[in-house]
Structure 1
Amino acid sequence: MYPYRLMFILTVFASICKGQQEKKCNVFPKDLYIEVGSDTKLECHTSCAHGKVFWKLNDTVIDESQLTTANSSVTVLSLKNFTAQRATLKCCSADGVILGGTIIKTYSKPSKVSCFLYNAIQNSIGVPDFLRCNWEHQRNPSKDTRYTILSSSSSDLSQSEICTSYNTSCTHEYGGRIVTKINFNSKNISFTVRAKSADFEAYSETQEVLRLYHMWKMIRPKIGVSTHSDHLLVNWNYTHFSSGVVKCQVRYNKVNTAKSPEQVKIKTLSPKEKGELTFGNLESCSTYIFTVRCAFEKAPWSDWSFEKRALTQLHMTKVKLQLWRKISDSLKNGSRKVQVMWTGIPSTCKDALTYSIKLTPLKQHTKRANTKTIPCGNSPCDVEVGKDAHRITLTVLRNDTSVEDSVYVPAVGESLPEVTDIQASTLEGVILVSWKAPVQPVSGYVIDYTHDGNQYHWKESKYTNITLTDLQDKTRYNITVTPLLNGTTGHSTRALPICSSVGAPANITITDVQGDDKRAVVSWDVRSEVDCRGAIVGYTVFYSTQNGPELNVSLDGSKQFVYLKDLTPDTQYHVYIKASALTGTTQSSEWLFTTRKFDPKLLTAFLVCGGLTMVLLLFLCVCCASRWKKISEKPIPNPGLSSVALWSSSGSQEGMLAIQPFSCPTESCCDRVYPEELEGTQVSVQPKDREGKPARLDAEERTVPDVVPEPNLPGKEPSESTEMMHLSSSEESTPMLHSESDQYSPYRSQSSVGVTAQKTNKQNKRVAVKQQEKTVTPTVYVTWDMFQTGKGQLKELDTK
């Protein structure tokens, strides 16, 4: 047992030592709740530390001037006018070790306590049935803070709890148990709010009420409004006592205008005085809203009464007519159409008014009987006048009261002044108009303007410039300036149409996209449904694939198409267009298109080339077929029918083949063979046998003499024959065909020998010499049947 006792003693001793060590270094007190703005002190025990200590407030070092030293082991921190809602304080040694800390929270007192009595049903009249108190508290209300209303009076000084709440207001029914605590006839009544939680308890300032009805909130008044010809009367009913005064407020404002702020008139009523108030300076034919609230002396205001609307009548004595006219071109019968318009009478007037227009010609010596009176409705009103000057008078009549105004219409061609150099410009939604005054003196100017030609507005000015406001946005206006003279008017001058403001560019619609494999043509149209659109200075075309980057092409505002290049074949693209102007931008809707796999022009080129190739091949086939048909149908040439003959070898040197011309009846332009001169060339053609070997011929047969004698013909002289032979040999000198490979003509070119010329012997000898100098071996044509059995020898021509 002894070891266990020793262990227990050591444990208790260690605990005591540890507690003493903790007490040596720490901050006291812990977790404070103090009132906002109050002073407090904190102690830091520094027995376990050496040297100076310092304090931190939310990790900010506190100035040493707020520190005092009680003794060598205690440092005191003084906090004055502490207002933070929550703060953390730490006491630290010189080397930065935290010796201790605490958290300080603040609370505030409830303030601005206001208690009043009221009726839950606003239509009931009598003793109020509810008591309500409101107050403010800086600390957010929570469930752990309980508020209690405490009340006392001069007759009962002890405080009574009226009601409790966990919010910053409390409502309790007046009567029952509370009626014994608060007497309605009591005086010097006071109310206090107590806020209490587990951490603090605070009391508000006391609200003192001299009389109980000073805290009585009246029921809302009942209001009535009556209209008269020149004023408007507001009356209301309210609850009052036999003693004391009642103050009331009447609030009113004009309907449908942002420039009419709410106005309030105050009326103080003595006991039993009737509540009413007269309004005589309101605008004619305008709708006003009225509402009233009242309160006893020093009591809270009642709720505002329900709103009451009233339309004022036309005050004829305050009407100021402003009459103007617009003169149109002359009609066919010489008369003119004049549009008469006026202001000064609101269109909202419900009064029964009568309008009449009187036309008075101003031509000299005009009788009174020429004056016309025309009934008219509301403004504007159209009338017709002649080419002479007229005075138009408008009369507005209601019951027995009337107002008038007149305007001058100049005669056609009348010499009157007019303004020049009229200019108009737009600036931030208003139109600035300026002009040059005429040479003649004028009293002022009338500036009329319209956006539709039907409804006109006009202003008067004594200067040569004016600013037109209250215009419709993005609307084109026509403006006219007319000088005024004493009782008359000059001629009107019109400015160029101008917009009140300019908006974004017109709407853009993509109309077509035509794409190939690597490019596309995008076309669009610009459509403006309204005027006053900004002038387009440039377009930007944006295009991209589904996952690719967005590309763009910029161009000026004169173009409405663009070529997109370097596209990817067989790919879907998104394209849209932005139009830019000085006043903004407009964007079209998105268009989707897909490029083609191949260039359609390449396919077209292939088709065209293929077609042309097929046509050419077909043409060549037809030509070849035609030529083959002619060649295949042509008979094999027979040398027996040729004009070439072979002389016998036993004949004289002058013996030779007789050459006679022949003709082919089926010869065509493709069959003709043209002669060819061969100089210094001897061509020898040997006939071949059936096996294709050259046939043997005698020397005389292979040699063609220079001069071929003509065989003896009946009726011919030998001399004549000799000359003919010389002539034939000289003239014919027949060349061979172009080559042996020529497949189109099997004959040698031949000339006719039927031409006979008379030559002298000298000429014949000269020809013979030439033939000796230039020897041409004629080509001999043979056929296979010439070498057949019995036909192997050529027939010899009898030279006799």
Structure 2
Amino acid sequence: MYSFLALFTLAVIPSMCKGLHENKCKVVSQDQYIEVGSDTKIVCQTSCVHGKVFWTLDNGYIKESTSNSSHSALSLRNFTKRSATLQCHSADTQEVLGGAIIRTYTKPSKISCLLHYDDQATQGLPDLFTCSWEHQTDASLEVNYTVLCDSCARQSEICNSQKTTCTHNYHDISDKIPLVQSSRVTVRAKSAAWEASSDPYEFSPFSILKITRPHISVLAASDHLLVEWSLPPFFQRKQRCQVKYSKAVDEGGPEWVLNKTLETNVGKGEMVIEKVESCHNYTFAVRCALGEAPWSDWSHERTVLTKLNKRDVELRLWRKVAEADKNGVRKVHAMWTGIPSTCQDTFTYMIEQTPYKEDMTGVNHTDTSCANSVCDVKVNQGARRINLKIFHDDWMMEDSVYVPAVGESLPQVTNIQTSTLEGVILVSWSAPAQPVSGYMVDYTHNGNEYFWKQTKYTNATLFDLLDKKPYNITVTPLFDDKTGHGAQTLHICSGVGDPGNVSITEIKTTDKSVLVKWDVESQEACSGDVVNYTIFYGTQKGPQLNVTVDSTARDILLKDLNPDTQYRVVVEATALTGTTKSTEEFFHTKRFDPRLSAALGVSGGILIVLVLSLGLCCAVQWRKFKEKPVPDPGHSSVALWSPMSHEKGICPFPPFHNPAESFCDSIYTEAPRTSTSPPAAGSHDNPASDQNMTGEYADPATVPAPHIQSEEPAEPVDKQHASFPAETTELLSSEDSPSSPYRSQSPEETPALRTSKQCARAPVKQQEKTPPLTVYVTLDMFEQGQGR
């Protein structure tokens, strides 16, 4: 320290003298490194300013300083900061005259050394010597470390490192660090700016010797495990050892259990572990140490399967009795808490049936060999006792259960109630009137795998159930040597899940509305009941709308939609336990109202039918008009008149439509009648008839010829026509038939068929002038008449 101050003084005084001549200000010893907790002094030359100066440490004012006209000195005592900035200021101008950065360094500390083995199978001297320490340094500095032997006659290096640990081969330095005596080492740290050494570390070689890991073995007995270990002969000194073990589990990592520490002097040890479960895998490990030396590494792990401990076996025999078949045989499903399948020993299971009454004779016992934990046997209608026996090596276990007779009167519990809470089922019931010794509660979710538990109370809690499964639960009262009848409750869910799957089944759109239908299918028996449905819908870019309906709805009509627009829709079912959603469906509203299109279609159809009907009617009328026959005068009565009429003065061919001529001279067409009276029988019988026919048309067939009038009255028409009953001579223009210009007649008509009373040629009154009528004749009409 004094040498440092002397050098500092020699460096500062010339600088001060030089500063007087140069009239400069500066701080001497910038970027100085000091050891943590030491003192230092900083000088500020003040020849460049007049007046006082002051110091700041990290911008904080410092009072402790000494000053004169040429310099100011600042003393720092017990300085512990990692780094600090010192500045000298002019009191008048506040100007910074100079500054320095002070950094600190520490010496290595907390040294520990270890003798250990690189190869855990090595015996004898250890392989390696390792020392480690702590040191806080500036990361930007490169520091070299050296481990020095302080106990040696002359301090010598053991190993070098740039880290805070250093390892060297022990065989090379065994003469410096012998096992038979204590040793002392020092760690030196050196950088470009400073150098520091640790305090000496003294140790005994055996106190730092980390021995090799022990060898371990585990033996399994029926009621305990024996753990044994051993160490190499070189370490037969006082030792302390620890044993840890864990039980294998299905999920997650095993939890290690650390047993107590044992001490031994013989290089080996053993420990008995009693509290272990039967037929389970256990893993063990052991570590040891010499005295207070560090622990060795843990031994290799050893896993062993424990044997069956008879004290852990509780059979808990129970049965389920089926209904008797037509032969009176009942199937009994016997079940018990069997031996774990992981047990590798050999076990024999036997079911024995015996009558309930021991004094019954003539009934043989029936034995059945069974597998582990379940067995089906058949019994008759009588009361039986089922006995289970398990054999293993030199011991045997047994249990029995009662099977009631068919129709046997036995007590039964009543008023079974169940409830579900957070995955467990709570069961309660009312006890029968008879005193009971307990109750057996059995339950199953599939009818094949049963679980059961016994209780003395009128309630039970069922744990470890499958999630969201329906269970059938049966409660049976137990007596001293019998069992009562079981009371069953069906389909109690261990938990209620989400509602069933929702699916949209139909979408019907119009221009401004849509009908959405959906359905719900429950995939699980314990699905939650739907409370309500929420229908979410909207356009791709528009807001999402929703409508909520109750649980009974299966369709909804969404209104006030935009025409010709695409929408999306989702139906969400909500239960007390959760929600489920349908897949998103898209639909497109129509551009126009379908009802308008339907109305237009119906109207158009009706119009088309009307047009077609009108056209059909017109066509029919036109066809009738076109197909109406042209009147043929050849079929008229005129063509049938006999040529002999010329000789008798009959007028066969009178002028057409001459009113001055007689009625026999005209060819008449249909015209309006002025009288509806029938024609007279003959002109000679009623002379006035000719007068009455003035202004009328008479049928020539009914008017007699002039030359006939003088003759005798003809015979009645009936007599003249007696030989021609099929012929007629009635007028076509009568009131009962359509008008026609011709007389109806047969083609075979002859003049003899005409009426016997013919009209004479007589003048008639001049008729009033009437419009001309169109008459049709054919050229062959007279030829037809002549040829007849």
Q: 1:509 deviation in Å? A: 4.4
| Alignment check: 8 A CA contact 2:36 2:78 kept | no
Cα distance change on mapping 1:417 and 1:706 into 2, 3 Å: closer
**Aligned to 2:464, what secondary structure does the other structure show?**
coil
Q: Does 1:618 align with 2:615?
A: no
For 1:482 and 1:223, the matched residues in 2 are separated by: 52
Equivalent residue, structure 2, for 1:173: 169
Amino acid at match of 1:164: S
Equivalent residue, structure 2, for 1:431: 425
Q: Does 1:498 align with 2:467?
A: no
Q: 2:275 aligns with which of 281, 285, 310?
A: 281
Q: Does 1:227 align with 2:211?
A: no
Equivalent residue, structure 2, for 1:714: 683
Q: 1:612 deviation in Å? A: 4.5
**Residues 683-702 of structure 1 mapped to structure 2, 5 A cutoff:** none
The answer to which of 506-515 and 407-416 deviates more is 506-515
For 1:319 and 1:194, the matched residues in 2 are separated by: 67
The answer to which of 541-550 and 622-631 deviates more is 541-550
Q: 1:401 deviation in Å? A: 0.6
**Aligned to 2:480, what secondary structure does the other structure show?**
coil
**Residues 760-799 of structure 1 mapped to structure 2, 5 A cutoff:** 782-783=772-773
Task: Show CA shifts across 1:750-773 (max 9, x none).
Answer: 9789xxxxxxxxxxxxxxxxxxxx
Q: 2:131 aligns with which of 128, 133, 139?
A: 133
**Residues 171-570 of structure 1 mapped to structure 2, 5 A cutoff:** 171-176=167-172, 178-187=173-182, 189-197=183-191, 207-209=201-203, 211-241=204-234, 244-256=237-249, 261-266=255-260, 268-343=262-337, 345-363=339-357, 365-367=359-361, 369-510=363-504, 522-543=516-537, 547-563=541-557
Q: 1:33 deviation in Å? A: 6.3
For 1:105 and 1:722, the matched residues in 2 are separated by: 171
Q: 1:305 deviation in Å? A: 1.9
Amino acid at match of 1:170: C
| Alignment check: 8 A CA contact 1:225 1:234 kept | yes
**Aligned to 1:404, what secondary structure does the other structure show?**
strand
Q: 1:524 deviation in Å? A: 4.6
The answer to which of 343-352 and 29-38 deviates more is 29-38
Task: Show CA shifts across 1:387-423 (max 9, x none).
Answer: 3332222111111211122222233333333222222
| Alignment check: 8 A CA contact 1:218 1:239 kept | no
What percentage of aligned pairs have identical amino acids? 44
| Alignment check: 8 A CA contact 1:245 1:270 kept | yes
**Aligned to 1:614, what secondary structure does the other structure show?**
helix
Amino acid at match of 2:288: C
Cα distance change on mapping 1:52 and 1:352 into 2, 3 Å: same
**Aligned to 1:175, what secondary structure does the other structure show?**
helix
| Alignment check: 8 A CA contact 2:416 2:427 kept | yes
Amino acid at match of 1:121: D
| Alignment check: 8 A CA contact 2:53 2:88 kept | no
Cα distance change on mapping 1:334 and 1:185 into 2, 3 Å: same
Amino acid at match of 2:471: Y
Q: 1:615 deviation in Å? A: 3.6
For 1:157 and 1:95, the matched residues in 2 are separated by: 60
Q: 1:371 deviation in Å? A: 3.0
Aligned residues: 670
Q: 1:160 aligns with which of 145, 157, 172?
A: 157
- What is the TM-score when the length of structure 2 is the normalising length? 0.69
For 2:44 and 2:227, the matched residues in 1 are separated by: 74
Q: 1:116 aligns with which of 107, 114, 117?
A: 114
For 1:714 and 1:79, the matched residues in 2 are separated by: 183
The answer to which of 429-438 and 514-523 deviates more is 514-523
Q: 1:129 deviation in Å? A: 1.6
| Alignment check: 8 A CA contact 2:146 2:189 kept | no
Amino acid at match of 2:176: K
Amino acid at match of 2:683: P
Cα distance change on mapping 1:524 and 1:275 into 2, 3 Å: farther
For 2:233 and 2:248, the matched residues in 1 are separated by: 32
Q: 1:546 deviation in Å? A: 5.0
| Alignment check: 8 A CA contact 2:443 2:472 kept | yes
**Aligned to 1:497, what secondary structure does the other structure show?**
strand
**Aligned to 1:338, what secondary structure does the other structure show?**
strand
The answer to which of 519-528 and 395-404 deviates more is 519-528
For 1:15 and 1:784, the matched residues in 2 are separated by: 167
Cα distance change on mapping 1:411 and 1:112 into 2, 3 Å: farther
Q: 1:232 deviation in Å? A: 2.4
Task: Show CA shifts across 1:224-266 (max 9, x none).
Answer: 2222333322223322436521222221111115697321224
Q: 1:338 deviation in Å? A: 1.7
- What is the TM-score when the length of structure 1 is the normalising length? 0.68
For 1:38 and 1:257, the matched residues in 2 are separated by: 62
Q: 1:79 deviation in Å? A: 9.8
Q: 1:347 deviation in Å? A: 2.4
Q: 1:710 deviation in Å? A: 10
Cα distance change on mapping 1:523 and 1:80 into 2, 3 Å: farther
Task: Show CA shifts across 1:173-211 (max 9, x none).
Answer: 3333x3443223331x344544554566565565432x2
Q: 1:351 deviation in Å? A: 0.9
For 2:435 and 2:236, the matched residues in 1 are separated by: 71
For 1:417 and 1:390, the matched residues in 2 are separated by: 18
Equivalent residue, structure 2, for 1:797: none
Cα distance change on mapping 1:343 and 1:752 into 2, 3 Å: closer
Cα distance change on mapping 1:521 and 1:461 into 2, 3 Å: same
Equivalent residue, structure 2, for 1:144: 141
Equivalent residue, structure 1, for 2:7: none
Q: 1:458 deviation in Å? A: 1.8
Structure 1: runs of 5+ lacking an equivalent: 1-11, 650-659, 664-674, 676-703, 726-748, 754-777, 787-800
For 1:234 and 1:71, the matched residues in 2 are separated by: 80
Q: 1:325 deviation in Å? A: 1.6
Cα distance change on mapping 1:609 and 1:468 into 2, 3 Å: same
Amino acid at match of 1:125: Q
For 2:50 and 2:531, the matched residues in 1 are separated by: 81
